[in-house]
């Protein structure tokens, strides 16, 4: 999660709690004191709206998986801010009968405080759920990165094995060429040996025939 968003989030939660306390105390005041307190509350609401806008801009600048989580949390804060605005309107509304107005305001503030407390409780629960979801997203992202690194390592190993196989193929091709040349040389040598045998055989036959002729002529004379 963005640290900038978390900083705005802490500021907003503190401001929201402070405004809720001021709204509760404003119902007990009258006259100028009440006007001053309402003015402080309105100033605080403007600051709260500014923080909401900053959180919205920061959330929309983040990656989609984180942005969706933060925008869901931001909707809860906007709802809380609207409740505070409604509470201020109730405080500042004028009634003809002061006693009836005070009674209605006290009843309205009690309901508003209950609603605000319930809203904050829901916000806290939602925040916890979103934080857990963010943790799961971070864990999934870490697992995805580890899987990606493993895939890259496997691809590198496969590339090295492919290079080794190509080298072995080239080596075998060279061996085949050498064997082919050796076979041709042996065939040529075999043919020469056969030719030499025939030549030697012919020479021997001629010599034997010559010897026989010489012996024949000697014996005949």
DSSP 3-state of 2: coil
Q: How confident is the model at residue 23 (pLDDT cuts 50, 70, 90)?
A: very high
pTM: 0.43
Round to whole Å and give the CA distance between 119 and 16: 11
Q: How confident is the model at residue 99 (pLDDT cuts 50, 70, 90)?
A: very low
Q: How confident is the model at residue 112 (pLDDT cuts 50, 70, 90)?
A: low
Place of tokens 């869901």: 72
pLDDT for position 95: 34
Q: Residue 31: which region, alpha, beta or left (left: phi > 0; alpha: psi -120 to 50)? A: left
Query: What does the mean pLDDT of the chain come to?
Result: 84
Q: Quick check: 104 pLDDT over 80?
A: no
Q: Which CATH architecture has domain 1-100?
A: Up-down Bundle (1.20)
pLDDT tens per residue, range 141-173: 787 778 777 877 788 888 889 988 888 888 878
Span of 49-58, 111-120, 137-146 with lowest mean pLDDT = 111-120
What is residue 96's DSSP assignment? S
Round to whole Å and give the CA distance between 165 and 40: 79
pLDDT tens per residue, range 119-130: 888 888 888 888
Q: Quick check: 94 pLDDT over 60?
A: no
Could you list the beta-strand ranges (E) of 10-77: none
Which residue from 9, 6, 1, 16 is spatially nearest to 117, judged by alpha carbons?
Answer: 16
Radius of gyration of the chain, Cα coordinates, nearest whole angstrom: 51
CA distances to 175, 177, 189, 196, 211 from 184, in Å: 14, 11, 9, 18, 41
Round to whole Å and give the CA distance between 88 and 57: 26
Round to whole Å and give the CA distance between 16 and 11: 9
pLDDT for position 123: 87
Q: Which two tokens stand for residue 215?
A: 């012996």
Round to whole Å and give the CA distance between 127 and 211: 124
> 127 CB contacts (<8 Å, ≥6 apart)?
73, 76
- Domain ranges (residues) in the chain: 1-100
Round to whole Å and give the CA distance between 128 and 147: 28
């Amino acid at each position: 999660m963005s640290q900038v968003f978390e900083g705005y989030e802490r500021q907003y939660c503190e401001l929201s709690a402070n405004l809720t306390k001021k709204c509760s105390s404003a119902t007990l005041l009258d006259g100028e004191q009440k006007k001053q307190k309402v003015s402080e509350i309105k100033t605080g609401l403007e600051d709260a709206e500014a923080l909401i806008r900053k959180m919205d801009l920061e959330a929309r600048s983040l990656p989609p998986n984180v942005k969706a989580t933060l925008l869901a949390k931001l909707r809860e804060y906007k709802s809380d801010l609207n409740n505070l605005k409604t509470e201020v309107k109730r405080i500042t509304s004028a009634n003809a009968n002061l006693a009836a107005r005070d009674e209605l305001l006290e009843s309205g503030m009690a309901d508003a405080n209950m609603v605000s407390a319930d809203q904050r409780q829901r916000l806290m629960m939602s925040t916890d759920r979103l934080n857990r979801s963010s943790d799961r997203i971070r864990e999934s992202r870490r697992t995805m990165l580890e899987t990606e690194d493993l895939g890259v390592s496997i691809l590198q190993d496969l590339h090295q094995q492919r290079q080794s196989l190509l080298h072995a193929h080239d080596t075998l091709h060279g061996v085949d060429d050498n064997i082919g040349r050796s076979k041709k040389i042996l065939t040529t040598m075999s043919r020469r040996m056969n030719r030499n045998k025939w030549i030697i055989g012919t020479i021997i036959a001629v010599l034997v025939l010559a010897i026989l002729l010489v012996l024949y002529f000697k014996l005949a004379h």
